[in-house]
Chain A
Amino acid sequence: MTDTTPNRQKLSLAKGLNAGLRKAMEDDPKVVLMGEDVGKLGGVFRITEGLQKDFGEDRVIDTPLAESGIVGTAIGLALRGYRPVVEIQFDGFIYPAFDQIISQVAKMHARSLGHLRMPLVIRVPYGGGIGAVEHHSESNEAYFAHTAGLRTVTCADPADAYWMIQQAIASDDPVMFYEPKRRYHERAEVEIDEAAGAPLGLHTARVARAGSDLTLVTYGPMVKTCLDAAAAASAEGKSLEVIDLRSLSPLDTPTIMESARKTGRVVVVHEASTFLGMGAEIAAQVQRDCFYSLEAPVLRVGGYNIPYPPSRYEEDFLPDLDRILDSVDQALAF
């Protein structure tokens, strides 16, 4: 970590999360972290490193190895007035907790007619590209974005990691917080001006790069890939705008539509399988709202409609620069 000014730090995405969690715990004694191995080990990705040492075992809770139990007890703690932040070790391990999230976390506020709140954050390291074994590389955000009562967000860079995790914890709604695990170690300068607060709202999309010929709509681990693609396209004289959604539910629809109307061409990029993925929703909304502005059909670039393959295939499974630019060319050819 290199301090440049008191308000700027060069952080990795992982360290941004760690610093954000630390700040949230310092600000509110009701914030507790829970999960498998989050204590002494600091989590398998070291996101909670050092926090148990500084905040104690009552606030950084090493849990038994049982995901439904982790989320279910977090619900009880939230009902008692705590603000639990749960770590699911890997994307593919969230399914045992699916019932508690869908049946209870998402519905508690509504079924109690507003009496009860679920200020609960469920952190999910997600996505592929790290050469992992099965169940360690999935992008299952659409299941949760589909469920009313949850908010589903994802950070893409160290600044968003630092700020969004704090905003998610501060929210009185339950938040599914997706972390792009292959970007954990990418570093950037982060503005940490506590007085000014977070530069963007938790549910605001961001224009990550301005452009005029076509809009790439993306989020999480694909933001960097899309920015790289836009840079490559620029060398060929094509001006691509890149939108980092940040929030998958609710979607910041106005930001998407404004860009679609401006460029007239939209390609949605994500790692998850395209069938019924986030791209399907975005394509449907863009054609509904921007039909007369469109110069080409909305295209999607995503994972194929197969289970996440063994890692020797993932270079071909995951969207890369070539596949993105190929779709860009298709859209521009209309």
Chain B
Amino acid sequence: MTSTGAHDTAARPEPGRPPRRRRAQRVPAALLAPALLGLLFLVLPLAGLVVRAPWTSLPQRLTEPGALTALRLSLQTATAATVVCLLLGVPLAWLLARARFPGRRLVRALVTVPLVLPPVVGGVALLLVFGRRGLLGEWLDATFGFSLPFTTTGVVVAEAFVAMPFLVIAVEGALRGADARYEEAAATLGAGRWTTFTHVTLPLVAPGVAAGAVLCWARALGEFGATITFAGNYPGVTQTMPLAVYQTIEGGDLDGAVVLSLVLLTVSVAILAGLRDKWITSA
């Protein structure tokens, strides 16, 4: 099984044997102090939200139609964006991890650009391409009479643009960590490239794909800058939760904004925790 010819098998890790687990160490104080400080830094603002929340008027505020509409729209668009990212991002990750082509480093760098690009700039960039006067958008509008800005599809596009790198990076990492010999074995047994991909590679990296999808979904759910710039802000069509939070703060209703933020936070924590227990830890 290991004699596939020209490949050097000695450098590969043996399949089936997990890396030796490290024994629990005593944490040095030099690491513990900043670690706790970092934890506090991340958790305190969330605590601030909880403390500041107007608990008495909470039930009434939660059932306001505006809040529920925005929440539904957020969940729908984030899920749709994640599906788009899975369909396009997994093949892209495979390309980066498995295929050899010139300029691969550059492609990888380009894929991660949305991570460092300010989302507002991302939104402007999307407008310049998909807007009514954009490079592709003008053609779309002239041919199909369809333009993306100010539509729910536009929100999905903005979210997918910002969230896809998270998925690609996670899946590419998983692919690189996966043992390529299973794929080679499938190939020697006569499986085609597509069959190998769907029956061997994908199941092998499923936990990585799931982790990436969750991360991608969470990023899409919180997307603000690209959405408001590219898709605009209209209740029920493009106003997702983060936009509703922003508009509520702008309107001077701090309590309302805190409530909306808490809802978003609770929903995302609940879903992330649920998914994590189901998929990720089983890896």
Q: Tell whether A pairs with B.
A: no
Chain A residues packing against B (C-beta within 8 Å): none
Chain B residues packing against A (C-beta within 8 Å): none
